[in-house]
Protein backbone atom coordinates (compact mmCIF):
# COMPACT_ATOMS: atom_id res chain seq x y z
CA UNK A 1 0.00 0.00 0.00
CA UNK A 2 1.22 3.46 -0.89
CA UNK A 3 0.58 6.27 1.58
CA UNK A 4 0.92 9.95 0.72
CA UNK A 5 0.77 12.83 3.18
CA UNK A 6 0.53 16.49 2.16
CA UNK A 7 -0.79 19.60 3.84
CA UNK A 8 -1.60 17.60 6.95
CA UNK A 9 -3.84 15.11 5.13
CA UNK A 10 -3.11 11.48 4.36
CA UNK A 11 -4.21 9.32 1.43
CA UNK A 12 -3.83 5.54 1.18
CA UNK A 13 -3.72 3.98 -2.29
CA UNK A 14 -6.32 1.24 -2.50
CA UNK A 15 -6.64 -0.20 -6.02
CA UNK A 16 -6.89 0.58 -9.71
CA UNK A 17 -9.97 -0.05 -11.82
CA UNK A 18 -10.20 -1.52 -15.31
CA UNK A 19 -7.86 -2.85 -17.96
CA UNK A 20 -7.16 -2.04 -21.60
CA UNK A 21 -10.01 -3.58 -23.55
CA UNK A 22 -12.87 -2.69 -25.86
CA UNK A 23 -15.22 -5.29 -24.37
CA UNK A 24 -16.33 -6.74 -21.08
CA UNK A 25 -16.78 -10.30 -19.92
CA UNK A 26 -19.28 -10.74 -17.14
CA UNK A 27 -18.24 -8.60 -14.20
CA UNK A 28 -14.79 -7.86 -15.63
CA UNK A 29 -14.35 -4.85 -17.89
CA UNK A 30 -12.09 -2.04 -18.83
CA UNK A 31 -11.54 0.98 -21.00
CA UNK A 32 -9.86 2.09 -24.20
CA UNK A 33 -7.88 5.32 -23.76
CA UNK A 34 -10.08 6.75 -20.97
CA UNK A 35 -10.18 10.56 -20.93
CA UNK A 36 -12.69 11.49 -18.22
CA UNK A 37 -14.68 10.03 -15.31
CA UNK A 38 -17.81 11.07 -13.42
CA UNK A 39 -18.89 9.85 -10.00
CA UNK A 40 -22.57 9.07 -9.43
CA UNK A 41 -24.47 7.98 -6.33
CA UNK A 42 -23.94 4.60 -4.61
CA UNK A 43 -20.32 4.24 -5.69
CA UNK A 44 -21.01 4.19 -9.43
CA UNK A 45 -18.41 5.50 -11.89
CA UNK A 46 -19.00 6.45 -15.51
CA UNK A 47 -15.78 6.36 -17.54
CA UNK A 48 -15.48 7.94 -20.98
CA UNK A 49 -13.22 6.06 -23.41
CA UNK A 50 -11.71 7.85 -26.39
CA UNK A 51 -11.48 4.58 -28.32
CA UNK A 52 -8.92 3.14 -30.70
CA UNK A 53 -8.84 6.32 -32.79
CA UNK A 54 -9.59 4.26 -35.90
CA UNK A 55 -11.81 1.40 -37.03
CA UNK A 56 -10.12 -1.86 -35.97
CA UNK A 57 -9.64 -4.46 -38.67
CA UNK A 58 -11.74 -6.97 -36.71
CA UNK A 59 -14.75 -4.65 -36.20
CA UNK A 60 -16.94 -2.53 -38.47
CA UNK A 61 -16.76 0.44 -36.08
CA UNK A 62 -14.57 1.92 -33.36
CA UNK A 63 -16.34 0.14 -30.50
CA UNK A 64 -13.65 1.40 -28.12
CA UNK A 65 -15.41 4.78 -28.09
CA UNK A 66 -17.99 4.38 -25.34
CA UNK A 67 -19.10 5.10 -21.80
CA UNK A 68 -18.37 2.40 -19.25
CA UNK A 69 -20.41 1.95 -16.07
CA UNK A 70 -18.59 0.36 -13.16
CA UNK A 71 -18.48 0.44 -9.38
CA UNK A 72 -15.63 1.89 -7.39
CA UNK A 73 -14.95 -1.69 -6.25
CA UNK A 74 -14.43 -2.71 -9.90
CA UNK A 75 -17.68 -4.50 -10.59
CA UNK A 76 -18.20 -3.71 -14.27
CA UNK A 77 -21.89 -3.16 -15.00
CA UNK A 78 -21.70 -2.61 -18.75
CA UNK A 79 -21.18 -0.07 -21.52
CA UNK A 80 -23.21 2.19 -23.79
CA UNK A 81 -22.72 4.81 -26.53
CA UNK A 82 -20.31 2.60 -28.50
CA UNK A 83 -19.11 4.47 -31.57
CA UNK A 84 -21.50 7.26 -30.62
CA UNK A 85 -18.84 9.98 -30.81
CA UNK A 86 -15.98 11.20 -32.94
CA UNK A 87 -13.68 12.76 -30.30
CA UNK A 88 -15.41 12.30 -26.94
CA UNK A 89 -13.79 14.51 -24.31
CA UNK A 90 -15.77 15.43 -21.19
CA UNK A 91 -18.42 13.67 -19.11
CA UNK A 92 -20.79 14.88 -16.38
CA UNK A 93 -24.01 13.82 -14.65
CA UNK A 94 -27.08 16.03 -14.27
CA UNK A 95 -29.29 16.14 -11.17
CA UNK A 96 -31.60 13.37 -12.42
CA UNK A 97 -28.68 11.04 -13.22
CA UNK A 98 -28.58 11.57 -16.98
CA UNK A 99 -25.05 11.20 -18.39
CA UNK A 100 -23.85 14.02 -20.65
CA UNK A 101 -20.77 14.01 -22.90
CA UNK A 102 -18.97 16.58 -25.05
CA UNK A 103 -17.57 15.81 -28.48
CA UNK A 104 -14.83 18.27 -29.42
CA UNK A 105 -14.96 17.33 -33.10
CA UNK A 106 -18.72 17.32 -33.60
CA UNK A 107 -19.09 20.45 -31.42
CA UNK A 108 -22.05 19.06 -29.53
CA UNK A 109 -23.21 17.64 -26.22
CA UNK A 110 -25.07 14.31 -26.02
CA UNK A 111 -27.28 12.96 -23.23
CA UNK A 112 -27.57 9.26 -22.34
CA UNK A 113 -29.69 7.04 -20.13
CA UNK A 114 -27.35 5.85 -17.32
CA UNK A 115 -29.07 2.45 -17.39
CA UNK A 116 -29.01 2.04 -21.18
CA UNK A 117 -26.49 -0.81 -21.21
CA UNK A 118 -25.82 -2.34 -24.64
CA UNK A 119 -24.25 -5.79 -24.78
CA UNK A 120 -20.90 -6.07 -26.55
CA UNK A 121 -20.35 -5.85 -29.49
CA UNK A 122 -23.73 -4.32 -30.39
CA UNK A 123 -24.00 -0.58 -30.97
CA UNK A 124 -26.27 2.04 -32.51
CA UNK A 125 -24.40 5.34 -33.00
CA UNK A 126 -27.56 7.10 -34.19
CA UNK A 127 -30.01 5.74 -31.66
CA UNK A 128 -28.51 5.49 -28.19
CA UNK A 129 -28.48 9.15 -27.14
CA UNK A 130 -31.60 10.65 -25.59
CA UNK A 131 -30.93 14.01 -27.25
CA UNK A 132 -28.09 16.23 -28.48
CA UNK A 133 -27.50 19.95 -28.67
CA UNK A 134 -24.83 22.31 -29.96
CA UNK A 135 -23.53 23.55 -33.28
CA UNK A 136 -20.15 24.74 -34.53
CA UNK A 137 -19.35 28.43 -34.35
CA UNK A 138 -18.23 31.40 -32.28
CA UNK A 139 -21.58 33.12 -31.70
CA UNK A 140 -23.22 32.95 -28.25
CA UNK A 141 -24.55 29.43 -27.76
CA UNK A 142 -22.35 27.90 -30.46
CA UNK A 143 -19.48 25.55 -29.65
CA UNK A 144 -15.88 25.19 -30.80
CA UNK A 145 -13.96 22.25 -29.43
CA UNK A 146 -16.05 21.68 -26.27
CA UNK A 147 -14.04 19.82 -23.65
CA UNK A 148 -14.70 20.11 -19.91
CA UNK A 149 -18.28 19.81 -18.71
CA UNK A 150 -20.00 20.04 -15.31
CA UNK A 151 -23.36 20.97 -13.78
CA UNK A 152 -23.97 23.77 -11.31
CA UNK A 153 -26.37 23.85 -8.37
CA UNK A 154 -29.24 24.89 -10.66
CA UNK A 155 -28.60 21.88 -12.95
CA UNK A 156 -27.23 24.11 -15.70
CA UNK A 157 -24.42 22.77 -17.87
CA UNK A 158 -21.12 24.68 -17.76
CA UNK A 159 -19.12 23.89 -20.91
CA UNK A 160 -15.51 24.80 -21.67
CA UNK A 161 -15.04 25.90 -25.29
CA UNK A 162 -11.38 25.15 -25.89
CA UNK A 163 -11.46 26.19 -29.54
CA UNK A 164 -12.63 29.74 -28.92
CA UNK A 165 -11.23 30.29 -25.41
CA UNK A 166 -14.41 30.81 -23.45
CA UNK A 167 -16.80 29.20 -20.98
CA UNK A 168 -20.56 28.99 -21.60
CA UNK A 169 -23.54 28.07 -19.47
CA UNK A 170 -26.62 26.27 -20.85
CA UNK A 171 -29.76 24.67 -19.49
CA UNK A 172 -29.53 20.88 -19.56
CA UNK A 173 -31.70 21.01 -22.71
CA UNK A 174 -29.13 23.24 -24.44
CA UNK A 175 -30.62 26.72 -24.17
CA UNK A 176 -27.79 29.25 -23.95
CA UNK A 177 -27.75 31.32 -20.76
CA UNK A 178 -24.43 33.19 -20.67
CA UNK A 179 -20.70 32.99 -21.35
CA UNK A 180 -17.39 34.63 -20.59
CA UNK A 181 -13.75 34.67 -21.67
CA UNK A 182 -11.61 35.50 -24.69
CA UNK A 183 -8.19 34.59 -26.01
CA UNK A 184 -5.20 35.89 -24.07
CA UNK A 185 -3.22 35.67 -20.84
CA UNK A 186 -4.76 38.50 -18.82
CA UNK A 187 -7.11 37.88 -15.90
CA UNK A 188 -10.26 36.18 -17.16
CA UNK A 189 -8.77 35.31 -20.55
CA UNK A 190 -7.88 31.78 -21.71
CA UNK A 191 -5.53 29.89 -23.99
CA UNK A 192 -7.03 26.49 -24.86
CA UNK A 193 -8.93 26.00 -21.57
CA UNK A 194 -9.78 22.39 -20.83
CA UNK A 195 -11.13 21.14 -17.49
CA UNK A 196 -13.80 22.65 -15.23
CA UNK A 197 -15.27 22.07 -11.78
CA UNK A 198 -17.58 23.90 -9.38
CA UNK A 199 -17.05 24.06 -5.62
CA UNK A 200 -19.61 23.98 -2.82
CA UNK A 201 -20.07 27.75 -2.96
CA UNK A 202 -20.82 27.74 -6.69
CA UNK A 203 -17.45 29.11 -7.80
CA UNK A 204 -16.13 27.86 -11.15
CA UNK A 205 -12.53 26.67 -11.61
CA UNK A 206 -11.07 26.41 -15.12
CA UNK A 207 -7.88 24.54 -16.04
CA UNK A 208 -6.34 27.12 -18.40
CA UNK A 209 -4.19 24.66 -20.35
CA UNK A 210 -2.26 27.01 -22.61
CA UNK A 211 -1.53 29.53 -19.86
CA UNK A 212 -0.43 26.81 -17.38
CA UNK A 213 -2.73 28.02 -14.61
CA UNK A 214 -6.09 27.52 -12.93
CA UNK A 215 -8.53 30.44 -12.77
CA UNK A 216 -11.42 30.84 -10.33
CA UNK A 217 -14.66 32.70 -11.14
CA UNK A 218 -18.04 33.30 -9.59
CA UNK A 219 -20.93 31.38 -11.07
CA UNK A 220 -21.72 34.49 -13.13
CA UNK A 221 -18.23 34.57 -14.65
CA UNK A 222 -16.64 37.30 -12.54
CA UNK A 223 -12.91 36.76 -12.11
CA UNK A 224 -11.75 35.96 -8.56
CA UNK A 225 -8.20 34.60 -8.56
CA UNK A 226 -5.47 32.60 -10.33
CA UNK A 227 -2.95 30.06 -9.12
CA UNK A 228 -0.10 28.31 -10.89
CA UNK A 229 2.04 29.56 -13.73
CA UNK A 230 4.61 27.86 -15.89
CA UNK A 231 7.98 28.26 -14.18
CA UNK A 232 6.83 30.77 -11.55
CA UNK A 233 6.09 29.78 -7.96
CA UNK A 234 3.40 27.08 -7.78
CA UNK A 235 4.33 25.67 -11.15
CA UNK A 236 1.88 24.03 -13.50
CA UNK A 237 2.65 22.83 -17.00
CA UNK A 238 -0.50 22.67 -19.14
CA UNK A 239 -3.04 21.54 -16.50
CA UNK A 240 -5.86 19.48 -17.98
CA UNK A 241 -8.41 18.78 -15.23
CA UNK A 242 -9.37 20.30 -11.90
CA UNK A 243 -11.53 19.20 -8.96
CA UNK A 244 -12.42 20.57 -5.51
CA UNK A 245 -13.19 18.43 -2.45
CA UNK A 246 -15.62 19.09 0.40
CA UNK A 247 -12.93 20.90 2.39
CA UNK A 248 -12.16 23.30 -0.44
CA UNK A 249 -8.82 21.79 -1.44
CA UNK A 250 -8.14 21.87 -5.17
CA UNK A 251 -6.75 18.93 -7.16
CA UNK A 252 -5.15 19.44 -10.58
CA UNK A 253 -3.94 16.96 -13.20
CA UNK A 254 -0.70 18.50 -14.47
CA UNK A 255 -0.57 17.23 -18.05
CA UNK A 256 2.89 18.61 -18.91
Q: What digits encode the pLDDT tens for the residues 20-31?
A: 887 766 667 889
* pLDDT of 145 higher than 80: yes
**88: confidence class by pLDDT, cuts 50, 70, 90:** very high
> Does residue 65 register a pLDDT over 60?
yes
Q: How many residues does the chain have?
A: 256
**What is the full DSSP assignment across 77-144?**
EEEE-TT--SSEEEEEE-TTS-EEEEETTTTEEEEE-TT----TT---TTTS-SEEE--BSSSTT-BS
- The mean pLDDT value of the chain amounts to 92
Q: How far apart are the first and last CA of the chain?
A: 27
Among 46-60, 76-90, 190-204, 220-234, the least confident range? 220-234
The pTM for the full model equals: 0.94
- Please choose, from the candidates 77, 111, 73, the residue with its C-alpha nearest in 3D space to the C-alpha of residue 91: 111
* Per-residue pLDDT at 21: 84
**pLDDT confidence bin for 186, thresholds 50/70/90:** very high
Residue-level pLDDT at 25: 61
Amino acid sequence: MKTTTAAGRTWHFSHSIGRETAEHNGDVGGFMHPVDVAYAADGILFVLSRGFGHKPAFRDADVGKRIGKTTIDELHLGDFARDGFTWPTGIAISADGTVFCTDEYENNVSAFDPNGIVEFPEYDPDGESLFQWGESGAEPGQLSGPTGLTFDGDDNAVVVNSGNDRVQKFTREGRHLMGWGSHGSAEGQFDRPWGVTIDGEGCVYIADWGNSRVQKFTGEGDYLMTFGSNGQGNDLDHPASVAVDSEGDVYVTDWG
